[in-house]
Amino acid sequence: MTNRPAPDQFFDVDMHRAMWPMGSEKIELFSGHPLFYGSFDQGDAEAAERAFPGRRATIEPWYGTRGNLILHASTCTPDTCSEWPADGV
């Protein structure tokens, strides 16, 4: 896709809409990070990292080890990213 950002770039609104034109009611662009609402686990985060090479995916837990999935730019780390979950999952 032509609007797919490089792993070290944040998503903008146009890139977000180009990637997920349908089902967007469960996806939010949160400070340049796609935030997928649902009951995801670590296996889902690993699948997201395979789908977007060079990016990191974390889970924002709300039910045990399951929760919302956040897709980060490759430059994000727990120390530099305000959107990184507090427990670092």
Q: Does a structural domain hold residue 33?
A: yes
35 inside domain: yes
Picking from 53, 27, 52, 29, the residue whose alpha carbon sits closest to that of residue 40 is: 27
Q: Is residue 55 part of a domain?
A: yes
Please indicate, yes or no, if residue 66 is contained in any of the structural domains.
yes
Q: Could you tell me the residue range of the domain that residue 68 belongs to?
A: 13-72
Residue 51, SS3?
helix
To the nearest whole percent, how much of the chain has pLDDT over 70? 87
pLDDT band at 45 (very low <50, low <70, confident <90, very high): very high
What is the pLDDT averaged over residues 66-87?
A: 90
pTM: predicted TM-score of the whole model, two decimal places: 0.75
